[in-house]
């Protein structure tokens, strides 16, 4: 894409998109250009439609991936190329709302115990103990850990928002063990293979896949499963859903409310209307 790629990357930065989102948008736009081997300035609505149909019918991409391609192409044509008419009539696909697999407390313990590296175990403990996204955990800096106030400063989360989360005493102990064992010198709490850079999401995902295999877990486990477990287990422990919303950094309570549908304890505490029939509580039914 050459100059157009540079312009698109600059536009994404000026709009305040997160680094991972910028990377995804640029990758999807590149796929589009490579499919036609022509400049996007020479392509229009018909080419966009044919490309998206190719993704769905021939490559069988999921609805969520399909939406990512549309979002990237919308940005490319609307913002960078100033040609909004190209994508104005492109429909958004419906994304099925599936419920995540939730690890039990014992399963989380088995997973963490399967990781030998102090650094990697501390990172996964941070994800579960503080409910962090993978990029938030990878890019934590040493100065983000406030042991006096027992808080973690999460910087530039989704949509560039900062937030504070609790620092578990057990997590603080694990981080100190990691600190002493790794002899940290740079700014990042979990440094990567290259000097001055944090550990990559792909490296962490590989560590997690190996740990899942060693632990013998049969559920579908991703890094985000630890964040799901954090929220669900807090809900089951009786924590207020508004507090969980703030800890997760969700803009809408509706996003957080999904955990009420997967929490066994929350569902079990809900009284069936059948049990209320014939009691004073049933008066509200009429």
Catalytic residues: 133, 158, 224, 227, 250, 259
Helices (H), the chain: 3-14, 19-36, 45-53, 63-75, 105-113, 118-130, 134-138, 169-182, 201-215, 223-236, 241-248, 253-256, 264-269, 273-276
What span, in angstroms and rounded, lies between the C-alpha atoms of 132 and 145?
Answer: 14
Q: How far apart are the first and last CA of the chain?
A: 66
Contact partners, residue 2, CB within 8 Å, separation at least 6:
none
- Spell out a b/e string for 165-181, using b for 16 or more CB atoms within 10 Å of the CB, else e: bebbeebeebbeebbee
What span, in angstroms and rounded, lies between the C-alpha atoms of 226 and 232?
Answer: 10
Residue 242 tokens, joined: 């508004």
How big is the chain by its Cα radius of gyration, in Å?
Answer: 23
């Amino acid at each position: 894409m050459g100059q157009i790629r540079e312009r698109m990357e600059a536009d994404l930065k000026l709009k305040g998109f997160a680094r991972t989102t910028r990377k995804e948008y640029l990758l999807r736009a590149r796929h589009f250009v490579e499919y036609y081997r022509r400049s996007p300035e020479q392509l229009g609505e018909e080419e966009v439609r044919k490309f998206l149909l190719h993704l769905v019918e021939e490559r069988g991409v999921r609805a969520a991936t399909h939406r990512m391609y549309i979002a990237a192409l919308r940005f490319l044509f609307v913002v960078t190329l100033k040609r909004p008419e190209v994508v104005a009539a492109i429909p958004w696909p419906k994304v099925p709302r599936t419920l995540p697999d939730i690890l039990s407390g014992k399963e989380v313990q088995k997973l963490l115990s399967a990781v030998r590296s102090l650094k990697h175990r501390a990172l996964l403990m941070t994800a579960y103990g503080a409910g962090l996204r993978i990029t938030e955990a990878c890019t934590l800096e040493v100065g983000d850990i406030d042991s006096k106030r027992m808080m973690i400063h999460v910087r530039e989360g989704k949509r560039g928002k900062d937030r504070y989360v609790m620092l578990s005493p057990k997590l603080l102990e694990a981080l100190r063990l990691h600190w002493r064992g790794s002899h940290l010198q740079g700014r990042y709490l979990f440094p990567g293979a290259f000097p001055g850079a944090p550990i990559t999401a792909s490296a962490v995902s590989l560590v997690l896949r190996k740990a899942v295999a060693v632990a013998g877990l049969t559920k579908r486990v991703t890094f985000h499963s630890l964040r799901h477990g954090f929220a669900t287990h807090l809900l089951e422990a009786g924590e207020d859903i508004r507090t969980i919303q703030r800890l997760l950094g969700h803009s809408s309570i509706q996003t957080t409310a999904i955990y009420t549908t997967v929490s066994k304890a929350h569902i079990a505490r809900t009284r069936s209307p059948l049990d209320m029939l014939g009691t004073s509580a049933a008066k509200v039914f009429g």
